Amino acid sequence: MLRPVSHPLSELRPLALGEIIDRSATFWRKHLKTLFLLSLGFNLVTYIVTKAMQLAMQRSLKVFQEAAVGRGDPATVLGEYGRFFGVLTGTLVVTFWLYWMSTLVVSRYVVPTLLGETVSPVEGLRRGLNRLGTLTGAFVLSLLWAVGANLLMALPGGLLTGAGAGLLALSDGPGGRLAGGVVMGVGLILVLLGLAGGILWYLLRFSLLAPVVAMEDLSAMSAFRRSGLLLSGRVEPGFLGRVTVRAMILVTVVSVILLAVSLLSGLPALIVQFSYRNPLDPASVAANPVPQTLLVPAELLQVVGQAVFSPLALVFYALFYLDMRVRREGLDLERRLEAR
């Protein structure tokens, strides 16, 4: 059984951004053990998938190393590049899906607890299994939407890069080649900025998707639309009244926390790797493999550290979802009427 709820029903009301952050941190501290256990399994599976990808890429690194010194067969190198990006894309998709599933499970525990209900952590896992198809369908829709948004945002830079490449190919003089290089460089910068903007947009647009699937009995398409509606428009006057602005601030806070945790918990693994090789040098990575008996324990420390702190970000999203329902739908008033 769980301990009493951190914030009674009488405190359910629209929250300022600082209050969302403060209450999220308070809830995370009081329920640290439960949140850790809920997240640990997903973090371990994510680590196993990522580790399998790293081991599978060792052959690719050798092929790329041979190509760098002019000894690789072009057809083999091209095929290896295709295999590399295929495995990398598949790994990213699986790890993102695991992240959404983890958010669903944690949200199913956090939101009812904040509403004063007694809920078992197993309920979150049960809900995740029951809503597996819905979450997967909504996740696929979000990926398709994200691909379209990223292509659209990267299109201006892509066109400029192509124009610069054309200038380089058609120019004979140094002036033309310089102009082509500058145009191509500016285009590449715009492509990177567009992709970064697309990723930020994805994190904002679908930040409430998993909580919606966790708490509401909707189809994949309905959950997809519902998460967008909760994040649209404004909830109060002023710049901070726009929901996208509020979400952006929370996503930035969450991202900074996760980045700091990732860096700190990843230090043991980095120390082990740098003691054998330079992880940023593909030739060094291929020539000086780190013994897995040393690397795996260090990486597992990182997994445990992330399982401790990453639930804080998931609590942010769950509480933000609850706040949007209070502000937009009067959930606080509805719950008080039901309690009479």
What span, in angstroms and rounded, lies between the C-alpha atoms of 244 and 238?
13
Tell me the β-bridge partners of 234: 242
Residue closest to 314 by CA, chosen among 154, 166, 101, 52: 101
- Which long-range contacts link 68-73 to residues 24+ away (Cβ below 8 Å)? 68/282, 68/283
pLDDT of residue 4: 41
pLDDT of residue 3: 42
Residue closest to 226 by CA, chosen among 313, 148, 321, 150: 321
Q: Could you write out the DSSP letters of every residue in 229-292?
A: HHTSSBSSSSGGGBHHHHHHHHHHHHHHHHHHHHHHHTHHHHHHHHHH--TT-HHHHHHSPPPH
Residue closest to 324 by CA, chosen among 203, 207, 219: 207
What span, in angstroms and rounded, lies between the C-alpha atoms of 15 and 26?
14
What span, in angstroms and rounded, lies between the C-alpha atoms of 228 and 116?
27
As a dihedral over the C-alpha atoms of residue 233, residue 234, residue 235, residue 238, rounded to 10 degrees, the angle is: 180
Series of mean pLDDT values for 10-residue runs along the chain (340 residues):
44 82 90 92 91 76 59 63 78 89 91 85 86 91 86 84 78 73 84 83 85 91 90 80 84 81 79 69 58 82 87 90 88 73
Residues 6+ apart with CB under 8 A from 278: 284, 285
Residues 6+ apart with CB under 8 A from 307: 36, 39, 40, 43
Q: How far separated are the first and last CA of the chain, in Å rounded?
A: 25
pLDDT of residue 68: 54
Q: Which residues of 268-289 are buried (b: 16+ CB within 10 A; e: fewer)?
A: bbeebbeeebeeeeeeebbeee
Rg of the chain over all Cα atoms, to the nearest angstrom: 24
User: For 17, how many CA atoms within 13 A lie in the half-sphere containing its CB?
Assistant: 18
What span, in angstroms and rounded, lies between the C-alpha atoms of 197 and 195?
5
State which amino acid sits at residue 285.
Answer: V
Residue closest to 262 by CA, chosen among 307, 222, 217: 307
- The pTM assigned to this predicted structure is 0.80
The residue to which tokens 């702190």 are assigned? 309
pLDDT of residue 45: 93
What span, in angstroms and rounded, lies between the C-alpha atoms of 300 and 306?
10
Q: Let me know if 306 is exposed, middle or buried by CB neighbors in 10 A (0-12, 13-18, 19+).
A: buried
What span, in angstroms and rounded, lies between the C-alpha atoms of 139 and 85?
21
